[in-house]
Each structure stands twice: as C-alpha cells, then as structure tokens.
Amino acid sequence: MFILEGKTALITGGAGGIGAACAKMFARHRIGALTLTDVRKENLLRTAGEIEKEWGLACICIDADIRKEEADAAMVAEAADRMGRLDILVNCAGISRMGRLYDVTGEQWDFTFDINVKGLFFVCREAFRIMEKQKNGCIINLASQAARGGGIVVTPDYPSSKAAVLTLTKSLAKSGAPAGIRVNTVSPGLIATEMTATFGYDPASVPLGRIGKGDDVAGAVLFLASDYASYITGACIDVNGGIAMI
Ligand SMILES: NC(=O)c1ccc[n+]([C@@H]2O[C@H](COP(=O)([O-])OP(=O)(O)OC[C@H]3O[C@@H](n4cnc5c(N)ncnc54)[C@H](O)[C@@H]3O)[C@@H](O)[C@H]2O)c1
C-alpha cells in the first residue's frame, strides 16, 4: 500500500543525508508532488535527478537559505502554489560542528541557532499560513538525541539548538491542533551522513550494534507523515538504535 498517495510535501535540507532519504522514502510511497530545498543547489539537483530516474517523480527544487525570513516565505508559498497544496513539511536542514566549548564564538552560536531554530521556525510559520487555510497539515522537525543527552563530540550550541526544537515543536503542536495541523519531532541518534562522517563512533556501543542509516530516520518520518499517525501531535520519536531509552 502506498500511504502517501496524492499528498504533497516540502522537505528542507533535501539535498543529502536524512533529507534526501526522506525524499526517496516519500517517492517510494507515491507522494503526489514533492518540493526539495537546500542551500546546496548541485546536490539538490542530483537528489532530484535520482528520484526522477527511479520513481518518475519530477521534484520541484528551490535553492534557498532558511536563515532568510523573506526567502522562507517565498519558498513555502512557491512550493504550495506549484504543488496545489501543502500537506507535509519535513524540516531536515541543520548544521553541527565538532569541537569543544572554547571553540564556540558568539558568531558560531548565532549561526547555529539561526539555521537550526530560527530558520526552522520561519519555515514552520509560513507553512502554518497555508495549512491553517487548508484546515489540515503535518510538520515533522528533526531534533537530535543530543538535545536530551547533551551531545558527545559536537560543540554545545548544537544540543542547545536541538533542545529548542523539541520545545518549539510542542508549542507549534498546541497552536496547530485546533486547525488540524499536527507537529512532531524525530530525534535521531548517530546516523551515517555527511554531517557525521568525521565523528568516528563505535557501532559496538550502540545496543542494536550498528550506526543508523538515513532510511531508519525516513521510516519514522514516513509514519508521522501518514494518516496512521493522525492522533499523534507534540510527540517525539527517538531513532537511535537504543543508545538512550527515555
Ligand atoms: N546525521 C545524524 O547523526 C543526525 C543526528 C541527529 C540529528 N540530525 C539532524 O538531522 C538533520 C539532517 O542531518 P543530516 O545528517 O542529513 O545532515 P546533512 O549535513 O547531510 O544534511 C543537512 C542539510 O541541510 C542543509 N543546510 C544547512 N544549512 C542550511 C541553510 N541555511 N538553509 C538550507 N539548507 C541548509 C545542508 O546543505 C544539508 O544538505 C539535521 O537537522 C541534523 O541536525 C542528524
């Protein structure tokens, strides 16, 4: 059964890693229309090309930096306009850095929060404008196990920003519920992507014995995006191989 048949989705950070895995998962489940956005235009076009080749779905690609409030408004409006409606938003765009607390300048702190929290909020707010009119919609935000655990090799701005995403999601879930907008978080542990390529984590330290794949996260996103999750909002699904059990 194709659980997203006829629906439309916008995925930020869709050029690679978890965002691209979600895009492919959605295409596999016959999403009706898909918009991918990212700052990395070449990678975005490559992912879109792979999806078209394998599933015959021509993605709409929008090259946008989510830190820019006006660009976010234009990007979400264009996506909804070209797809006809906006059923699902997945916020995968994000950054992290390895390092110690002394490496964090004010500039770095702001940069991380501008992308991981403020930019994510702008995109959600613009999606709300459309979803409220539709009286229906679903938003999935990517947080991180680091939000609750504090992170291991990353600088402290990253787990702090992801903790903000957890709380922001609950706030948005309360605002959206009366209009039929569900907002949830997926919180990955260590997933093999470009972001974590240099983290050097030992698979033996994960109870399930392996580092996660983009598809592991995309499966949880697919469930939350589907009508099977129609009574779930303000929740967080941990996808971490058992690293932390809360
Ligand atoms: N990989 C992991 O282990 C892991 C663990 C926990 C949480 N996450 C979260 O999952 C999400 C996806 O991570 P990933 O591992 O796929 O990382 P990734 O680096 O492979 O992908 C992130 C994408 O976000 C894009 N991006 C960065 N800044 C942007 C901006 N200003 N505007 C638009 N796009 C921007 C990047 O170009 C990139 O394509 C992130 O929010 C990350 O924090 C990842």
Q: How many domains does the chain have?
A: 1
In sequence order, what E strands does 19-112 have? 33-38, 60-63, 88-91
Question: Is residue 244 in a domain?
Answer: no
Ligand 1 in reach of 188 Cβ (< 6 A): yes
According to DSSP, residue 168 is labeled H
pLDDT of residue 1: 67
According to DSSP, residue 140 is labeled E
What are 178-209's pLDDT values in tens digits? 999 999 999 999 999 998 888 888 899 999 99
Question: Is residue 38 in a domain?
Answer: yes
Ligand 1: centre distance to CA 178 (Å): 30
Ligand 1: centre distance to CA 116 (Å): 9
Mutate to test the pocket of ligand 1, among 12, 22, 38, 63 (most ligand atoms within 8 A of CB): 38
pLDDT of residue 209: 96
Ligand 1: centre distance to CA 47 (Å): 15
Question: Is residue 188 in a domain?
Answer: yes
Question: Is residue 22 in a domain?
Answer: yes
Domain holding 44, by residue range, is 8-239
Nearest to 109 by CA among 159, 163, 165, 157: 157
Mutate to test the pocket of ligand 1, among 66, 97, 193, 205 (most ligand atoms within 8 A of CB): 193
What are 94-111's pLDDT values in tens digits? 999 999 999 999 999 999
The low-confidence residues of the chain, meaning pLDDT below 70, are 1
pLDDT of residue 152: 86
Are 175 and 131 spatial neighbours (Cβ–Cβ below 8 Å)?
no
The answer to whether residue 102 is catalytic is no
pTM for this structure? 0.98
pLDDT of residue 198: 87
Q: What angle do CA 129, 145, 216 make, to 5 degrees?
A: 80
Question: Is residue 3 in a domain?
Answer: no
Question: Is residue 2 in a domain?
Answer: no
Instruction: Say which CATH number the domain at 77 has.
Output: 3.40.50.720
Task: Give the strand pairing for 236-239 and 8-12.
Answer: unpaired
Residues pairing with 28 in the sheet: none
- Euclidean distance between CA atoms 50 and 24, whole angstroms: 9
